[in-house]
Structure 1
Amino acid sequence: MGEKLNEEKLNTSPYELDGKPPLKEAIPLGIQHVLAMFVGNVTVPIIVAGAIGLTVEDRAFLIQCAMLIAGVATLLQVYRIGPVGARLPIVMGTSFGFVPIAISVGNTYGLSAVFGAALIGGLFEMVLGSFLKPLRKLFPPVVTGTVLLTIGLYLIPTGMNYVAGGVGKPDFGSFSNLFLAGLVFVTILIFNQYTKGMFKVASILIGMVVGYIVAIPMGKVNFDAVVNAPWFSIPMPLEYGITFVWPAIFAMCLMYVVTAIETVGDISGITVGGAKREATDEELRGGIMADGLGSVLAALFNAFPNTSFSQNVGIVSLTGIMSRFVVLIGAVFLILAGLFPKLGAIIAVMPTSVLGGAAIIMFAMIMTSGIAMVSRDLSQRNLLILACSLGIGLGVGNVPGVLGAFSETTKLILGGSGGMVIAAFLAVILNVVLPKGTADSKPICVSEETKIEA
């Protein structure tokens, strides 16, 4: 009887999937999601624009488009349109995984070819998503857990670069940056573990706000970008045109396969971390299709391919807040930031080290979610899949020169995202080809206490 009451209480909670917390709670919780992904979302157009020689004005325009499309794509995920959308609290944003390919294609064929390849690739991912049900057997917990674990391990160095102030910054690794990151880190821990209610679930937002405020008198915040940003601007579609080049399309489509696998891992991370259950076929299919459609819209509106943002999966795992309404608030804020550039600029000038203090916790939560999924069945076979996938994937990611004999396109695909591509494909392939013997299917290292609890 007690369990039934607890379940009924959970289902009526404003923090569960269809719950609607009051606006005084939903707004800061939604902004918390935006703050977590904002730097990652705008960094991609900054990197690509700089690498292919675009002007400062082009860079600002691409950032504006990235914010607008991230908000629209998030709405697609949160509130399903037909079969498109996972109907889960998933935050979308510009994918880091496409950066090497976008730079290579942009320098060779121009930005119009990048958007053309991204458009075709997005349609290709939608087709993949529509056929997910017969492919679901390729993604058991050992595969999705391995992908999640790899994502977390891949992102940890990025988080540490944020902590130090951002790669290439003159004060990289300075005591001031480490102090700000440490302040945010400790503030999040204190509010998450020693407070209740709104203070607990908004611990990440509180930590970053505290860091932001402290950074101002330290001279770490330059508000010139806020002053110079226009009040209102509507991004026009196809500003750079669109062309279709087959080598670029092929490379993009291969990367979209990896993005689909990553999205499966993120969706599984949200359902496991927030709802304590496996993702359904409908959620996975709709999530991948929304990934694809979001990238199609991105290509039309001058933004780079979109995907689910793993750091926001970490927020759901840490806070337990599954409300789609909260993410809706975040999506609206992103759209407003895309239409009112001054609003986005206020967040854009936030010191990178402030984000780093929160990113370390969020990225580590993704990693531990992967560990939790894999540990459900620690059979000898599954341990071998995990070991081979991580060993080779992370090995290539840390020593990219091992791919020196391959073509540049192959190196971009296999070596991209810190070896995550190889780790994901290996996990899928090994799960298919390795035999599932009776002896190997039994978990190893299971204590008597665990057996009793089971």
Structure 2
Amino acid sequence: MSDAPMSAQGNLRDPNYTPPLAQAIPLGIQHVLAMFVSNVTPAIIVAGAAGFGFGSNSPDFPELLYMIQMSMLFAGVTTLLQTITVGPVGAALPIVQGTSFAFLPIMIPLVAGKGVDALSVLYGGVIIGGLFHAALGLVIGKIRFALPPLVTGLVVTMIGLSLVKVGIQYAAGGVPAIGTPEYGSLLNWSAAAVVIVVTLGLKFYTRGMLSVAAVLIGLIAGYVYAMMVGMVTVEGIATSWSRAASFALPQPFKYGFEFSFAAILGFCLMAFVSAVETVGDVSGITKGGAGREATDAEIEGATYADGFGSALAGVFGGLPNTSFSQNVGLIAMTGVMSRHVVTIGALFLILCGLVPKVGALIRTVPIEVLGGGVIVMFGMVAAAGISMLSEVAWSRRNMVIFAIALSIGLGLQLEPGAVQYVPGSARILLTSGLLPAAVIAIVLNLILPDEV
């Protein structure tokens, strides 16, 4: 995609340039391929944590399909807010939005084992947290001092570390399968291994579209392998396909709306981290694609779109949205800054979100195959955090801040029984690991004096 004529390349570096459809459509689809798996995975993980049955005959199957459907639909809608803009909402840049992994450590404890009934609390947090996130657009430039690389790098690393367990569980057979004879079998691990090997091979030994879509193609290879060894059957695919509608509109407040102190506080605190990540992504797009710094209006508009898009998604049963860093890298690689290219990708996502049969096909992917992709993705989240930490000047002060925040945050996550006498809402926040680590790091960074 990067070998267009020089004149066209120059035009494509202009966010307002509209390339010919023959060029814009494949470029837009390329953006969707780069983020598609990461976008739907959080919904599958939250559904699994809540205890939804994943089989096509499960009574929870329609709910799982709906959550996948909303992940695609509102990734597209929020991306349109960024590219087309509505008043001050949106950056008018090629920013691709998708469901955020960052909120998973907050969402999983809220719904763990509680089924559909827990979703009203979850979505109450998503909506209020989204509105709070949007409000950060008013002050985002003023609060960045409280979130240096020491804090944001720690938080992103903690997100990755808190999720790697999920990847291993999925690769071994899934959370519902823990304790069964099949859990951790060679067959399960072999499916995950196929995904990892193919993904790595494509990522490092190919170029262009194959490299960009390495995780997606790796999952397809794992899916084919699963069919060859009997983990997926044609009958199962046909059943899932037949149970899903051909077209469906989103339903407002499908799962209700309930206020919970733990949920609202957790989502609002994570909004700080997500907002700062978005600032970094916007800066990465303007630097990588146009060789300039992002303007205040672009950063504020992007933050507004993040927040309002998340709140809107929560109304209809979607999860929090954020800008996707993998697409920032894609822009830097191709040099394509046209926001209208990303608009085409957004329209494709919206189309997929209105067709539940797409979600039904995604759900036929065995959990072990998904586990292979998740291991790669969550490991990359932790690696991204470590990369951010490389910018830190490791004085004794910063090492102490990092050590205490990591020890307490990760320790409470690994041993939740240590706070068993803490009231329910506060216990959920503490055992997430992420929030105590973030709060400790922010507070210590603000109050401890710099070393002379």
Calculate the TM-score normalised by the size of structure 1: 0.78
Distance change (3 Å), C-alpha of 1:49 and 1:121: farther
Correspondence for 1:443: none
Correspondence for 2:388: 373
Distance in 2 of aligned mates of 1:365 and 1:17: 29
Structure 2 counterpart of 1:41, one-letter code: A
Q: How large is the Cα RMSD of the aligned pairs?
A: 3.8
Structure 1: gaps (5+ residues) = 1-7, 440-454
Distance change (3 Å), C-alpha of 1:37 and 1:63: closer
Distance in 2 of aligned mates of 1:288 and 1:362: 24
Partner of residue 298 from structure 1, selected from 313, 322, 325: 313
Instruction: Work out the number of aligned pairs and report it.
Output: 421
Distance in 2 of aligned mates of 1:389 and 1:16: 43
Distance change (3 Å), C-alpha of 1:197 and 1:167: same
Correspondence for 1:174: 185
Correspondence for 2:325: 313
Distance in 2 of aligned mates of 1:305 and 1:379: 36
3-state DSSP class of the match of 1:236? Answer: coil
Decide whether the 8 Å contact of 1:126 with 1:290 is kept in 2: yes
The CA deviation at 1:266 is: 3.6
Indicate whether 1:209 and 2:220 are aligned. Answer: yes
Structure 1 counterpart of 2:449, one-letter code: P
1:175-207, CA deviations, whole angstroms, 9 ceiling, x for partnerless residues? 122112211211122222222233222322222
Identity %: 35
Correspondence for 1:69: 74
Structure 1 counterpart of 2:321, one-letter code: T
Distance change (3 Å), C-alpha of 1:65 and 1:193: closer
Decide whether the 8 Å contact of 1:31 with 1:330 is kept in 2: no
- 1:41-440 equivalence runs, <5 A: 41-45=43-47, 47-48=49-50, 50=52, 57-77=62-82, 79-85=84-90, 87=93, 89-93=95-99, 95-99=103-107, 102-103=110-111, 115-116=123-124, 118-169=126-177, 171-221=182-232, 222-223=236-237, 224-239=239-254, 242=257, 245=259, 248=260, 250-264=261-275, 266-267=277-278, 270=281, 285-301=300-316, 303-308=317-322, 312-313=324-325, 321=333, 328=343, 331-380=346-395, 381-416=397-432, 419-437=433-451, 439=452
Structure 2 counterpart of 1:44, one-letter code: V
Worse-matched range after superposition: 21-30 or 361-370: 21-30
Distance in 2 of aligned mates of 1:329 and 1:158: 33
Structure 1 counterpart of 2:399, one-letter code: L
Decide whether the 8 Å contact of 1:414 with 1:422 is kept in 2: yes
Decide whether the 8 Å contact of 1:164 with 1:178 is kept in 2: yes
3-state DSSP class of the match of 1:76? Answer: helix
Distance change (3 Å), C-alpha of 1:397 and 1:172: same
Distance in 2 of aligned mates of 1:25 and 1:108: 38
The CA deviation at 1:135 is: 1.0
Distance in 1 of aligned mates of 2:411 and 2:143: 28
The CA deviation at 1:78 is: 5.1
Correspondence for 2:33: 31
Structure 2: gaps (5+ residues) = 1-5
Distance in 1 of aligned mates of 2:308 and 2:302: 10
Structure 2 counterpart of 1:429, one-letter code: V
Distance change (3 Å), C-alpha of 1:124 and 1:25: closer
Distance in 2 of aligned mates of 1:176 and 1:58: 29
Decide whether the 8 Å contact of 2:129 with 2:271 is kept in 1: no
Decide whether the 8 Å contact of 2:65 with 2:360 is kept in 1: no
Worse-matched range after superposition: 407-416 or 70-79: 70-79
3-state DSSP class of the match of 2:228? Answer: coil
Decide whether the 8 Å contact of 2:79 with 2:96 is kept in 1: yes
Distance in 2 of aligned mates of 1:139 and 1:240: 34
The CA deviation at 1:116 is: 4.7
Decide whether the 8 Å contact of 1:389 with 1:423 is kept in 2: yes
Calculate the TM-score normalised by the size of structure 2: 0.78
Distance in 2 of aligned mates of 1:320 and 1:101: 37
Distance in 2 of aligned mates of 1:92 and 1:157: 22
Decide whether the 8 Å contact of 2:105 with 2:162 is kept in 1: no
